[in-house]
Structure 1
Amino acid sequence: MASTPPATLDVAKFMREQRFSRYHITILVLCSLVTFFDGQDFAALAYALPYIRDDMGISDEMTGYVSSAAFLGQMIGSLFGSYLGDIFGRRPVIIFCTIGSAVLTFAVGFAQSPEQLIGLRFVSGLAIGGLLAPVWALSIESMPRSMRATSVTIIMMGFSIGTASSGPIANFAAPVLGWQGIFWVCGAMTGAFALILLFTLPESARWMVATEKPAARIVPVLSRFNPGFEWKAYDKFVLLDEKAVKQSTNPLKKLGELFVGKLAFITLFIWAAYFCSSFAIYLKSAYGVIFMENLGITRQNAAWLGSINAIIGAIMGVVLLAMTERKGPGWIILAPLLGIPFVLLVGTGVVLGGPALIPVLLIGAIAVGAGHAAVISITSIYYPSAVRATGGGWASFMAKFAAVAAPIYGSQFLSGVSGAMAGYMFTALCLGGVIVFILLLAWAARGMTDLPIHATEPAKKET
């Protein structure tokens, strides 16, 4: 008697049919903690910088180079991390980069000169930048379709809260251990989390299917989404919602996949919007505390304000993405539209003191943060699983040109009230760029009701 031949399972359909579960929450929490500690390590310098300037007596120009070093490292790390994430998987790259971030951030606390700071922040930036695209991809590929973009915003809220946590760490550690203690505490906390991650972080099931990994590796991951599913009936796994991408280790071929069809426009508009948003957010990240000091706010209060606006900005980014998921990327412009008038109130000198200053600074900074979180959330959702990390990594790479330039260019804004005003004026210009390119992206993506767009057949809407 002939046996029944094993069947093929469409993993995309299987994943769509799963309700949001405790396992989805586990993945979201782990990814959010990855970005939390990534953000904490990244922002440590911004809160340590005023103390470092006092201790080492470094010039404004050298301050710009010190701040830019980590951004340059992130820029290069984002390409390597995304490429390796598509070749070797999301899990190993995320874990390796988290360990690297912990060790290298801790090492920054031993720097004895501005030159050593530049070198150590550069290499720590490689690890900090290398894990973002893989963690975005893991989140997108594990979530129900309706939560793909929102999940990225949620995990980047972890990044924002992590950057915010550096403020209280600086306020408590610096008086006791000096500026060095800020990096020692942040690095030690990340190292402890990296050990937990070794035993808890899963691999992306979609990535394993897209890269044709053995069924023995795929089934245990899928079974965590639905432990009661009958897996013995299947020996082949496919993704029918994606165009098959020929597997290649050639990074240029992977880059070429980002420009297929409508992606030729979408990719460029994502890069441009992310670039403008990054210039605004990294100018704030590098010098926000110094700007506020120059406007008459005490250093510790400026650190607390920086932490508060980072947290609220991240939360508002999630709220904004709830609308974007339903109505398209054009709704992202709500944040910069709100932010521009408040930033201009300071930039034009209308509000430079009094009881209105702190609320105006907070609202402007929150809008910058919310818009940036929303822009990040759409950098990876348009691409097939086999090159999704590559898509996010290249977007991050292009944005890091702005991240590297922001502290160097922004060093001219460090002198007194007039410098701070000029910095806020430039921020308003960056927000205007975000609005223009997001509107162009919404135009290019019109009519696309399902993602990824490399569909071999029209996707059915979920009920």
Structure 2
Amino acid sequence: MTSHSSNSLDVAHFMQNLRFTRYHMTILLMCSLVTFFDGQDFAALAYALPYIRDDLGMSDEMTGYVSSAAFLGQMIGSLFGSYLGDMFGRRPVIIFCTIASAVMTLAVGFSASIEQLIVLRFISGLAIGGLLAPVWALSIESMPKSMRATSVTIIMMGFSIGSASSGPIANFAAPVLGWQGIFWVCGAMTGAFALILLFTLPESLRWMVATEKPRERIAPMLMRFNPNFDAQPYDRFTLSDERKVKDSRNPLVKISELFAGRLALVTLFIWAAYFCSSFSIYLKSAYGVIFMENLGLTRENAAWLGSSTAIIGAVVGVLLLAMTEKRGPGWIALAPLLAIPFVALVATGMVTDGPLFVPVLLIGAVLVGAGHSAVISVTSIYYPSAVRATGGGWASFMAKFAAVAAPIYGSQFLVGADGAMAGYMFTVLCLSGVVLFVFLLAWSAKHLRALSD
């Protein structure tokens, strides 16, 4: 089970030979709950937006700026969170960002003007964006080799389910507390979870080894993964399946590690695929309810449909990764490829007046969500542990350009059924980009080993 060299332990070999244990399940559950409440706070605006527009009388242009404020915060937060996650560890960054997300989501509910709403959503976006790369890294670094990409999809299923939960919260809270109550309920739930997180979230064992943390911190973690393991004989720990990266606090040095050798192409194609996927998913997230309203659904039914497709899409994404993880990243193009004809049927108006309208909407949205989950799963797996959060953070940063642009660009699609159909047609173009860049990623990563066998 272990590899010895004097008093040295190969932690990579130790972890690769572990079965999936209760401790793995605990880590996976905690990471999934982190993203659940992160998604809930993030999506609160999408379900509150129709009520806010009525209450504050926002123009379509201003609606785009309000939606983009959180995305801009996420974009900046992803860089800071990923850098700090590689410097100080996954655990402190995740906990701090969860607490900050709870506080700022509550604060959004006290906004008295559109300007305050924009500022507070931007600040909350910093926290929401800051924890994703560290939580991806913690999951990848803790799971057995056969579950690394799938684990990311599972924890992002937490994000999707959390996002979906904002729909029912909006339907129940808004009639009683107004749109403000949606943010109060979501923020309070996240705050309660943050207190639990303080006592339950572990640090990444791989990160501690990669950054040469003291034996006193590493040895107890080994025994958490395997209570029967005796760590006493070992005072040095290594990772044989990762190259050593430059030890520097300079963020530019860490970024340069993302382009070492063949990683240069891998990184660029990850960014491109994630950008296209994010444009489609955030256009849906920001305006999906409004699009469906404009095509004839009631606001309440649109909210329920949006919630259900987010959950089902996340589940389908997990199933897709579970079946294809060992076959390479090219298989994750399957979901967006299948989504294209269904979204196109809505975009061309071929099903909007018939009984197939809702089923086609449902299937298309599910496949869009599944594809996005699958793309996210590969954003961090190719990088060494010492810069893994940086890799995920920069992928997220590039994707957030699309997230910022989607509500602003998408505001032109808010008028009537024709506008909504144009929005769906643009989604078809985004999905085509996802398919192209995923295939290019699969080609460029063919001979690259993120983590050795």
User: What's the TM-score, normalizing by structure 1?
Assistant: 0.96
Distance 2:360 2:11 in 1: 49
Q: Find the counterpart in structure 1 of residue 273 from structure 2.
A: 273
Q: Which residue of 2 aligns with 1:234?
A: 234
User: 5+ unaligned residues in a row in structure 2: which ranges?
Assistant: none
Report the Cα distance in structure 1 between the residues aligned to 2:29 and 2:427, rounded to whole angstroms: 32
What is the RMSD computed on CA atoms of the aligned residues? Answer: 0.9
Asked if structure 1 preserves the Cα contact closer than 8 Å seen for 2:65 and 2:408, the reply is: yes
1:335 corresponds to 2:335: yes
Question: Aligned partners of 1:105, 1:8: CA distance in 2, in Å?
Answer: 47
CA contact (8 A) 2:64 2:411 kept: yes
Instruction: Say which SS state the counterpart of residue 110 (structure 1) adopts.
Output: coil
- The answer to whether the 8 Å contact 2:149/2:378 transfers is yes
| CA deviations over 1:269-304 (Å, ceiling 9, x no partner) | 000000000000000000000000001100011000
Deviation at residue 324 of structure 1 after TM alignment: 2.8
- Please tell me the residue identity of whatever aligns with 1:349: G
Instruction: Report the CA distance between 1:162 and its aligned residue.
Output: 0.3
Name the CA distance, whole Å, in 1 between partners of 2:324 and 2:43: 28
Contact 1:321 1:374 in 2 (8 A): yes
Distance 2:312 2:181 in 1: 26
Q: What secondary structure sits across from 2:33 in the alignment?
A: helix
Asked if the contact 2:222/2:229 (under 8 Å) is kept, the reply is no
Q: Which amino acid aligns with 2:259?
A: F
User: What per-residue deviation string (whole Å, max 9, x for no partner) do you get for residues 151-184 of structure 1?
Assistant: 0000000000000000000000000000000000
Counterpart in the other structure of 1:164: 164
Whole-angstrom CA distance in 2 between matches of 1:292 and 1:57: 20
What is aligned with 1:93?
93
Paired with 1:338 and 1:407, the residues of 2 have a C-alpha distance of 25
Match of 1:224, SS? helix
| Identity value in percent | 80
Contact 1:323 1:331 in 2 (8 A): no
TM-superposition CA deviations, 1:333-356 (whole Å, max 9, x none): 111111111111111111112321
* Aligned position for 1:154: 154
Once the 2 structures are TM-superposed, how far is the Cα of residue 320 of structure 1 from its aligned partner?
Answer: 1.1
| Aligned position for 1:298 | 298
Contact 2:222–2:231 (CA<8 Å) still a contact in 1? no
The amino acid of 1:239's aligned partner reads L
Checking the alignment, whether the CA contact within 8 Å between 1:347 and 1:424 is kept in structure 2 is: yes
Residue of structure 2 in register with 1:7 after alignment: 7
Structure 2 counterpart of 1:377 = 377
Q: Which residue of structure 2 lines up, in the alignment, with residue 224 of structure 1?
A: 224
- Measured after TM superposition, the shift of residue 447 of structure 1 is 3.0
Provide the C-alpha distance between the structure 2 equivalents of 1:395 and 1:141, rounded to a whole number of angstroms. Answer: 18
- How many angstroms apart in 2 are the aligned matches of 1:451 and 1:83? 20
Secondary structure of the residue aligned to 1:184 is helix
Q: Distance in 1 between matches of 2:229 and 2:352?
A: 62
Would the aligned equivalents of 1:85 and 1:93 in 2 still touch at CA under 8 Å? yes
Give yes or no for contact 2:107–2:120 (8 Å, CA) kept in 1.
yes
Once residues 65 and 323 of structure 2 are traced to their aligned partners in structure 1, the CA distance between those partners, rounded to angstroms, is 39
Offset, 1:209? 0.5
Q: Is the 8 A contact 1:153 1:377 kept in 2?
A: yes
Q: For residue 339 of structure 1, what is the amino acid of its counterpart?
A: A
Structure-1 separation of matches of 2:440 and 2:72: 28
With the length of structure 2 as denominator, give the TM-score of the two structures: 0.98
Q: Does the Cα contact within 8 Å between 1:317 and 1:374 map onto a contact in 2? A: yes
Aligned partner of 1:215: which letter? R
Contact 2:40 2:165 in 1 (8 A): yes
Displacement, 1:230? 1.1
Matching of residue 78 in structure 1 with residue 61 in structure 2: no
Partners of 1:144 and 1:358 lie apart in 2 by 40
Instruction: Tell me the equivalent position of 2:450.
Output: 451
- The offset of 1:76, in angstroms, is 0.1
Kindly provide the CA deviation profile for residues 195-226 of structure 1, in whole angstroms up to 9, marking residues without a partner as x: 00000000001000100100001111121001
Q: Paired residue for 1:456? A: none
What CA distance in whole angstroms lies between the structure 1 residues aligned with 2:157 and 2:222?
27
Alignment of 1:309-324 (within 5 A): 309-324=309-324
The 2-side partners of 1:414 and 1:97 are apart by 33
Instruction: Provide the residue aligned with 1:61 in structure 2.
Output: 61
- Decide whether the 8 Å contact of 1:6 with 1:235 is kept in 2: no
One-letter amino acid of the structure 2 residue matched with residue 271 of structure 1? W
1:433 maps to amino acid: G
Name the SS of the counterpart of 1:451 in structure 2.
coil
Distance 2:148 2:232 in 1: 29
Q: Deviations over 1:115-141 (max 9, x none)?
A: 111000000000000000000000000
**Aligned residue identity for 2:218:** I
Give the Å deviation of 1:228: 1.2
Count residues with an aligned counterpart. Answer: 449
- Deviation of 1:6 after TM superposition, in Å, equals 6.0
In 1: Cα distance, 2:365 partner to 2:426 partner? 13
SS at match of 1:244: coil
Question: Once the 2 structures are TM-superposed, how far is the Cα of residue 322 of structure 1 from its aligned partner?
Answer: 1.6
CA contact (8 A) 2:164 2:310 kept: yes
Aligned structure 1 segments of 4 or more residues deviating by more than 6 angstroms: none
Between the aligned partners of 1:383 and 1:205, the Cα distance in structure 2 is 16
